[in-house]
Amino acid sequence: MKTMLIRPKFLNLTKIHFPVAAVVSIVHRISGVLLSVSLPVLIYLFGLTIRDEHGYTIVVGLIDSIPGKLTLVFLLWNLAHHFLAGIRFLLIDLDIGISKTTAARGAWLVHFGAAGLALLALGLLL
């Protein structure tokens, strides 16, 4: 009887086809973790900006540097994706956009919208 309980498993992640909505879901997770990890650094930098004029100038200088700008754009990309995917999930909770085609369209919109906002941020910062 015991052999009957063994179900076939196929969890080779490189061979499974991921629908676009699944990619939005996993990126929502990854971006959430990355944003959480960056939180202590951001609080520290915020503390510097309000400490005194000198601290404020240091942080402005960091944001003005090329590595600083690229880091900021990467974080904003994470934020934009997390934000747009989050709105998509909230709409799905309200039963909006749950048909197969609109769900996939919304998922593509999240990816392209986030990339577009990141490029916009890059353009504004550079």
Partner 1 sequence: MTSAASLGLKAWLVQRLTAVYLAVFVLFAAIKFIWLPPQDYSQWIAWVAHPFINAALALFILSLLLHAWIGLRDVIMDYVKSAAVRAGLFAMLILLLSGCGLWSLRLLLKVAA
Give the interface with partner 1 as residue ranges (CB under 8 A). 29, 32-33, 35-36, 39-40, 43, 46-47, 49-50, 52-53, 56-57, 79, 83, 86-87, 90, 93, 124
**Minimum distance, C-beta of residue 108 to partner 1, in the bound complex (Å):** 20
CB of 101 to partner 1, least distance (A): 25
In angstroms, rounded to a whole number, what is the distance separating the alpha carbons of residues 109 and 80? 12
Indicate the residue type of 29: R
**By C-beta, is 1 or 54 nearer to partner 1?**
54
User: Least Å distance between CB 3 and partner 1?
Assistant: 24
Give Cβ neighbours of residue 11 (< 8 Å, ≥ 6 apart): none
CA distances from 38 to 27, 34, 91, 98 (A): 16, 6, 27, 33
CA distance 1 to 19: 36
Question: Beta-carbon neighbour count of residue 61 at 10 Å?
Answer: 10
Closer CB to partner 1, residue 52 or residue 108?
52
CB of 76 to partner 1, least distance (A): 9
User: 70 or 90, CB closer to partner 1?
Assistant: 90
